[in-house]
Structures are given as structure tokens and as C-alpha cells.
Structure 1
Amino acid sequence: MTTKSETEVGAETRPIIAVTMGDAAGVGPEVTVGALADPAVLRLCRPLAVGDRARLEEAARILGLAVDIVAVEGVSDATFEAGRINVIDLGLIPPDLPWGELSALAGDAAYQYIKVASELSIAGAVQGICTAPLNKEALHLGGHEFPGHTELLAHLTGTPEVSMMLSSPQLKVIHVTTHIGLIDAIAKIDPGLVERTVRRGNEALVRAGIPAPRIGVCAINPHAGEHGLFGHGEEEEKIVPAIEVLQADGLDVTGPLPADTAFFLAGRGDYDLIVAMYHDQGHGPIKVLGIEDGVNITVGLPVIRTSVDHGTAFDIAGTGKVRTGSMSEAVRQAAALASVKV
């Protein structure tokens, strides 16, 4: 186990990461405790949970983790050492809340955790946010009509437009559109949105240490439209103009590429980033490679934000069966990205 003296080394430079507990009826409390008890996480950052102390204590008992979960008022009250988890305890979850069941109360609480974390980030008290999964239906039942974390954080931070990036050891994907239907996604895509998305992805990779990212841009239609055989000219109308502007500005951008080969090319190392036009086009390949390895990064916010790339998993919530490594990786990536800016 890491000793206190070891964790104190570099305490002034390790970024502070707010870790939200997510939906209390799902696996959020378990993955949060698992990640914040991980010595590898503590070596990279100073994690501060935002959630419910009693629920985290229950999750620790379920996982069989011997940790001291301490309620604090804020960052200045927290002591970061092995075996201790600091939590800003909002006290919103009753002790009898069932695991694995849809709950408006849990949905509202998940919103409140994000709100507090956003306020901490805007105030500069934390350098990054890592979020455990929330349930979109519960969020709506709790009175908060947002498609998910990405849109919610954009609203809370006053950010007009952000992008979702999924990162795994083998592949990185940024999305032009995310939580909307396919017909609506095609209608929404235009050269300006494609260009802004690519630029956000390029900037994120440069910040992460890739000085000249190689970016492949997916087409909308099969075979990139096959010169008009498929679709109605969407590639030429919506994607090609953006690529021409980006190339003229010196970005290493190629496309539109047939999506069924773009991910293969990226997997063998031809591209550092793939730009997906819609949700499933980008999510599918990442999850095939390993849902436990994927990390969700919101690009374009005034603060670093990462998350696991899985849901609330109501079917196994509260059983101790969940794997917490993905949450540990999400916190580590938040710390790594925030460290560049600290």
C-alpha cells in the first residue's frame, strides 16, 4: 500500500479531479469507490468525490474495500492519502434506495453532483471532472431534460458547442453528432460543424502530446457515396468543403473515408483520430475493441472532463460484480490531461 509520505510527494502539482458518483441506483457508487481506492490514481491526482457518503460506504462494503470515506466541505478540507476517500456529501440518497431500479430521486441527485462539480471547475478549485455513469431516463424523471452528460456539462459551463471523444489504447474517435436520431444527425451535419469538430479534436490531441495529429474523416454514406451512387451527395455538400478549409490551414486531414475501412486504417496506425459523423458510427468500433478500455472525453469545455464509456448497468448494480478499471482509467486520463494545463 502507498504510504502517506509517498502520496505527499508532488502534492502541490497533482491536479485536483472532482469525481461525481453518478446514478446512485446504478454501478456509479461502486466504480467511484473502486477508482478512488486505486493507488495508481492517487499517485497521479488528488481525487475529490461529489456524491453521497453513506452510499459510497455501502458500495465499499459490497466491494470488500477497507477505506475511510470522509465528508468534507470543500477542497481545502480534504486530506489526500492512501486509504481515505474525500467526498462532498450532498446527502440526497435515502438509505433504503434500491439498487438497480429507475429512480427520479437518483436522477435528480446525479444532476446535483454534476452541478457542484461544474461550479468547482468554474471557480478554479478543481482542474478536471470525471463522471460516473448516470441514467438518462432517471435524469429526465428527476426534472432535467438533457440527452446526457455532454450536453448537461455544456449547459452548466455556458459552453455553446462541445464534442464527444472516445479514447481507447487502439483508437480515438470524435463525433460530429451524438445523442440524436440518424435522420436528424444527417440534417444537422454541415461543413461548419464538421470543421469545428475536427479542430476541437486536433487541439485535444496536440494538448495530449501529439504535435501533428493525422485525422481521418468518415463519410456519411456507404463507400463514401460512391460518386453519387449512394445517398444524395451528402459527402460533397457537407464534408468536402470542411476538409478543403482544414487542409488549406495545414491540418493533416483525409476524407471523406468509407467508414468500414476508416477504422481498420486507424487500427493499424494510419490515423491518430477518426471523425465519426453520428453516434453509432463511432461508438460501435470502440466498444468492439473493449468497453472496459474506452474513456469518454468531452472536448471544448473550459475544464477537462472524462467518463467511463459504459452505462449504469442496473442488472449488476449493488452486487459487487462490476469491474472498476475503466473508471480508474477515466480518472487517470483526466489527471493526465489536466496536468498539461496545471
Structure 2
Amino acid sequence: MINPFRPYRARLRRLVGRSMPDFHAGAVERWEEAPGSVLRFHPSLALPGQVERIKASVFASLPATIEALTRDGEAAEAPTMAWRFRDVDLVDGVLYHGAAELHLNRRKRKFGLALRPRQAIRGALYETWATNRWFGSWLMDALVASQLAQTTGMAMTTAPAPRPGSHAARYEELAGVHPGRIAGDVHFDEMVLFDDLGNNLSKGLRQRALRLQLLAGRDPAPVPGVFLLRGTGGDLRLLQNETELAERLAAERGFLVMDPLKATADELIEACGAARAIVGVEGSHLAHGIMVAPPGAAIVPIQPPERVAATLKQLADRLEQRFALLVAEGGDSLFTLDWRDLAATLDLFD
């Protein structure tokens, strides 16, 4: 049953300035689920001066982000790891084991304390803080990691059941993901965690298999490209001339323009499944297109100069697509992009 003092112990350690122990060091067993790989990477296609426009990055340091976007040659990718634990408490979105803690969700209660004991369970979790925070991370990482958890026969998640008819609900249905749902505080007699962040060969194979699952039974029509609108949805990253760029792509290059907030998952899959290019402001909504676009497709995220990220390139690399580095001008939430830069970047793929 839940030990109500574990959250106190973790907080006391921080208050007195003691370092937090490594959560994974407390596992009773660890193993390599899939080996690391040395993979061949191609640099992003870019116009001169794009790297110089980058002012700041997210999810990784600026040097690491630029390296991931521009690397040319072989690079080692980490293995997929698994850990087995015993006697773990999940309290208000945080896992506690001994004096260590691992956050999966934002705390909802002020003190994060266990309210009442629950029946002990066994489970294999395939989520992370990032996949619970951002839809794009869930779509590009949790869905492929769920395949690992399902092989244990005890796949579980703290994420609530998605709303019927939502994108997430449809993707779970198409991918055959049916996890147990954890509601509230629980105690794990046994728990398995996975680290599936490495962009290794195994993850690439699972990603490509998922693409085939999403496209099964469909015959999407080839199109020059799809522009996925972001607008003001999600965290504010507003391309101030987004409408102008979308309209020119449609009129001059035959692109489809779609608003993911107004389209079903099936409509997005059908539109993007044979698209030669996926374009839009960098963000979760682009994962709809990248997940199903064919090998060789041009992936062109429009990066805010103060919020450049390389995560979508990792997904494109797994799916053998080509990637562009295209940086707008402005800040992290309000920015613009010259049409000539967009058009010239797309021409790099011809």
C-alpha cells in the first residue's frame, strides 16, 4: 500500500539541499530492450544564413540542437532500455521509490500527498513527462513505446482516456493501443519503465510499422504538399503572415491547406499520406503529417528564432524523410517569414 511519508522525504531532501538519488538506480533488474545503432544522418537542407538566425533553442542546448539539425555523417544512437522496480508509489503524478522520485505529470494537489491507499497493482508504463505534456511528443514517442509495454501484458498509463472522436482516441484505435488507465494514487508491487528516446534502428522499424498501420486500407492521393495551420492553438507561436503564406502555397504550388483543429485524424492521414511536402510552424500539429508522409517527403517546419527544436527531425529521420532548416524572423511567440525564403527552401528539394 502507499507509504504517505515518501513525498515528505523527497521534499525534505530538497529543502536541506541534498541531491536527489537517481530513480533508475533503484531498479531490481535492468536490460537492453533493443541495441544502440550507428546510423547515417543527412543535414537539413537550408538556405545560407539560416543557422545564424537561431537565437535560442528548446528541449536541448543550442549547440546540441544545431548539431542535430546540421549533422552530416554517422552518429551513435542510444539503446532502448527497460527497468523493473518493486514497491513504487504513484502519488499526484509523481513516482516515488525509496528517496527517489520521477515526475510523469504536473502535480494537482498543493502538497502532493497521498489521500488514501489504493489496491496494489502491476504495470508497465510507456509514458514520460514530455509525452504527457505535449501532444506531438505523445504521437511521435508514446505510441511507438506502447508497443514495448504491450509485450509485457501489463501496459498502463496515467493519461486519461482520450475524448471520444478526438485525434488521440482515433490514433489509439488505429494503432491498437488499449492500455490500462491509472486514476489517482496507486501502489505498484511491480513496475516496468522504458527509455525509448534513442533514435535507434528498433525505434525506426517500429515507427515505420506504425505508419503502415495508420495507412492500412487507404489510398491517399499524391499532392505537392500540405500546409498545416497552427494559428493561435496550443502554446502561442504565431506566424503573423501564416494565412498569406498558406494562400500562396495553395495558389502557386498546389498545396492543400488544412487546420488540424478542424479536421479528423482520418482526414489528416488521407491528406498527408502521399504528400511530397509537409509545411507549417514547428509544433505538435506537424506530427500529424510527418507520421504518415512517404519516405523522401520534404519536411519543412518554420522555426521561431528564439525557440528552435530538432525533435521533429528525429521523427523525419526515422521515417527516411528529408528535412529543412527554415528560421523565421522575430521572437519566440510572434514572428514572420518572407515568402521568398519559403519558396526558395522548397526549391532545394527539387
TM-score, normalized by length of structure 1?
Answer: 0.29
More helix by percentage: 1
Larger Rg: 2
Determine which structure has greater relative contact order: mean sequence separation of CA pairs < 8 Å that are 6+ residues apart, divided by chain length.
Answer: 1
More strand by percentage: 2
TM-score, normalized by length of structure 2?
Answer: 0.28
